Structure 1
Amino acid sequence: MQNQRNSVPKFLLLGRALFVLVFFTPTWDGLEAAQVTFKPPRLPAPRQSTGGASRDGNNCLMAENVGDTASITALLPSSRIGLTVKERPTILVYIPPTTAKTALFSVHDEQAKNHYQKTINLPAKPGVMAIKLPNSAPGIKPGKNYQWSLAMICSSELEPDSPLVSGWIQRVQYPGGLKNQSNSSPSLELASHLAKQGIWYDTIFELAKLRQAEPHNQTIQSSWQQLLNAVGLNAIANAPLAPRSTYLTYGDE
């Protein structure tokens, strides 16, 4: 009888332990989804050029504070080329402190034929700006390389030494398992899947949308910083996003 009475608390303790393990242990799926690790694809160099370009010029760039990045910078790996699954993708560019109010955004194919061109407004404060190819523009074709550029207009018109940045983009088909998520809300899980497939432009834009929606979420902020640091963009890893009014400049034309 004494042994039976002592055995009851043991079963209760075991049950409580199992309850804690099942209901309060964090799932590995959630932790894995937060790891946005970019795997660069092997892409041949575009035929028309050796890669993207960057030109600071000396007309209208300025560093207001110690630590400010004074260069216009594409959010791209060092190869200056990235993939997208979007027909009309979004490109992220860091805009430094500048007196320029507008810039010329252009897209060309490998034969240097003009695909799209428009003058756009720049944000009033330095930060990461998103430029989306609008619905009124022709979409980019799968398997083709396109070069985009953003040139600041420092005076009344574009000049030879105007600050400029450019990069390359190629559209690919949706990897397996991602097509059904194309219109879903942004998530770290989707960003993680895109990164593993080497889809740079859409990975970084997913994280940018998450940062915009949850600016105080430390997990999202950490994922953003780690991704930029991994491709050598440490100098702008902590840069703010441009205000929402300019952030999706051509998001829904």
Structure 2
Amino acid sequence: MLTDQPFSRSMLLTLAVVTVASAGLSGRTPHVMAMHQHNPMTFTMPTPPSDPGAPTGRREGGSSRGDKIYTLCKTVEEAANKQCATSRLTALVPEVDAEKQIWGLTGADHPEFLFYLSKFRTPEQPKTTHLNIEFVLQDEDDKYVHKTSFVLPLTEGGIIRIPIPENRDPLQVGKRYTWTLLTKFGPNETNYVHGRIYRKQMDTQRQQELQTASPLKRLEISLKEGLWFDAIAMLVDLKQDAPQDLTILSRWNSLLDDINLKELATEPMLSCCTPDPHLSFK
């Protein structure tokens, strides 16, 4: 349940202490998500910044009822017995290492986030489900940087993008921010994902390259720098501008394959999201 109070770390179900040593956001030890090291368009995952006490995160949502977490329904019988989740929620972010840390870097002061949503339909269910959704971004003190609620008319599965508005405070370099997306598919079915984002300081040369480079070159730079949130947002823009471009489609497939979400590469983008300030998750 979401309330008007910020999420405390104790409210998140999957907390862990991150003990990976790192030189910080300015340096990185490459962790390649795929083995195509010769490919400049392969995403290179940096080592997580040293951040003791940070939440591990959760990329794949599951229905939460009390203390039990249910995965997506596979059969009508499972759905009828309410032993599974009738909606799928997946954050389009890397899942790193054995601890399955959910985090990523951005060079943007106002990044955006992408999520996949779908539902398991039974003959008794209407074709369109009006799915209540809440997204929050919080700083290290659990204060809201951005909070928005909206209703998504969900017919088939698809990907939504949620930008941080320009009128919000910009992300600060080296600070941890925690994002959470929560859906309310039914009165007793809550579904959520959450993770971390850090803003990386780009050196002057890289900043100049990004400002003058072609779109595909900017994408290549972002991938090399480990800027996950920037790279995937750029690719979505490129796909929307040139939906039949086979090179761009190949880059999109490869990027999702790098994070083991290739099955989502053919999913459509959904029109989203008009805020509803009166929506309640209590």
User: Normalised by the size of structure 1, how large is the TM-score?
Assistant: 0.70
Q: Greater CA deviation, 226-235 or 123-132?
A: 123-132
- Within the alignment, does 1:97 sit opposite 2:119 as a pair? yes
Letter in 1 for 2:230: D
In structure 1, C-alpha distance between the alignment counterparts of 2:246 and 2:178, rounded to whole Å: 34
Post-superposition offset of 1:152:
0.8
Taking the TM superposition and a 5 Å limit, the aligned residue runs for 1:98-247 are 99-122=129-152, 124=154, 125-155=156-186, 161-180=189-208, 187-243=215-271, 246=272
Q: Give 1 or 2 for the bigger CA radius of gyration.
A: 1
3-state SS, counterpart of residue 55 of structure 1: coil
| Contact 1:103–1:122 (CA under 8 A) maintained in structure 2 | yes
Letter in 2 for 1:37: T
Post-superposition offset of 1:138:
1.7
| Contact 1:75–1:93 (CA under 8 A) maintained in structure 2 | yes
Letter in 1 for 2:220: S
Structure 2: gaps of 5 or more residues: 1-38, 66-71, 76-85, 97-101, 121-128, 276-282
Q: Relative contact order: is structure 1 or structure 2 higher (C-alpha 8 Å, sep ≥ 6)?
A: 1
Q: Greater CA deviation, 163-172 or 37-46?
A: 37-46
**What is residue 62 of structure 2 aligned with on the other side?**
56
Post-superposition offset of 1:174:
2.4
3-state SS, counterpart of residue 122 of structure 1: strand
- CA deviations 1:124-170 (Å, max 9, x no partner) are 442111100012322211101111011013357xx6x4111112100
Post-superposition offset of 1:235:
2.5
3-state SS, counterpart of residue 206 of structure 1: helix
The structure with the greater share of residues assigned to strand is: 2
| Contact 1:70–1:96 (CA under 8 A) maintained in structure 2 | yes
**What is residue 93 of structure 2 aligned with on the other side?**
76
Q: In the superposition, relative to structure 1, how do residues 102 and 186 fare at CA in structure 2: closer, same or farther (>3 Å)? A: farther
Aligned residues: 206
User: Normalised by the size of structure 2, how large is the TM-score?
Assistant: 0.64
Post-superposition offset of 1:118:
1.4
Q: CA RMSD in A?
A: 3.0
| Contact 2:177–2:197 (CA under 8 A) maintained in structure 1 | yes
Letter in 2 for 1:110: E
Post-superposition offset of 1:105:
0.5
Letter in 1 for 2:43: F
In structure 1, C-alpha distance between the alignment counterparts of 2:209 and 2:130, rounded to whole Å: 38
3-state SS, counterpart of residue 167 of structure 1: strand
| Contact 2:180–2:193 (CA under 8 A) maintained in structure 1 | yes
- CA deviations 1:58-84 (Å, max 9, x no partner) are 79x7789xxxx9521111111311100
State which of 98, 105, 108 in structure 2 corresponds to 1:86: 108
Which runs of structure 1 show a deviation greater than 4 angstroms over 4 or more consecutive aligned residues? 61-64, 181-186
| Contact 1:48–1:111 (CA under 8 A) maintained in structure 2 | no
In structure 1, C-alpha distance between the alignment counterparts of 2:92 and 2:214, rounded to whole Å: 19
Q: Greater CA deviation, 228-237 or 209-218?
A: 228-237
- CA deviations 1:75-127 (Å, max 9, x no partner) are 11113111001111011111223724331101112333333211034364421
The structure with the greater share of residues assigned to helix is: 1
3-state SS, counterpart of residue 154 of structure 1: strand
